[in-house]
Amino acid sequence: MSGVLKKFFGGESLFVNRFTNPTRQSLQVVLSQSTIGDIAEAQVYENNLCFQPGAYIASTPEIKLGVRWAGLASWFSGEGLFKLQASGQGTVFFGAYGGLTRKKINGDFIVDTGHLVAYESGMKMSVKMAGGLLGSITSGEGFVNKITGKGTIYLQSRSIDGLVQFLSSKV
């Protein structure tokens, strides 16, 4: 049940944990993610940052987290029907499967489905076929995600879906 909820509602758990230092000395907390891959920190100010399901790890207390409707285009591109949006002012930590690339975009940019980790909320997404009808099948790319706008996006160099496909062909 919680798995189903997670899948639909932005891939995040219903609960978060707040770690506070009530003492007079500095203390350490170690945080990580379950997949193998890079972790990045991003500053959020007036640019809201949207995350792919499961990417969010931690944030400073000034950050507000909300789940937003992401649209069918997002769902088709493997990013989930809902997205997690971080707003406010502060730092967000998020993780990826594989390496993380930060990229500034001005105009159109095409990302394979499942490789988009985070993007600024002003950007538009639309799903299209990688080539023609036949080309999309034979090229092995299938659907791709076209991002339009001006802002920063984060890409992951591997996708869990890709791993699942690779492994399921072996069993």
CA distances from 27 to 30, 37, 79, 90, 92 (A): 10, 26, 36, 20, 20
Residue 12, both tokens: 């995040």
Phi, psi of 3 (to 5 degrees): -65, -40
Nearer to another protein, 128 or 158 (CB): 158
As measured in angstroms, the least distance from the Cβ of 64 to another protein is 6
Nearer to another protein, 70 or 144 (CB): 70
Phi, psi of 45 (to 5 degrees): -130, -100
Nearer to another protein, 98 or 114 (CB): 98
Nearer to another protein, 21 or 138 (CB): 21
Tell me whether residue 136 is exposed, middle or buried, using C-beta atoms within 10 angstroms of its C-beta: 0 to 12, 13 to 18, 19 or more: middle
As measured in angstroms, the least distance from the Cβ of 145 to another protein is 21
What distance in Å separates the CA atoms of residue 53 and residue 132, rounded to the nearest whole number?
A: 29
As measured in angstroms, the least distance from the Cβ of 140 to another protein is 25
As measured in angstroms, the least distance from the Cβ of 161 to another protein is 19
The site for another protein (CB under 8 A) is made up of 9, 12-34, 36-41, 56-61, 63-69, 82, 91, 93, 95, 99-100
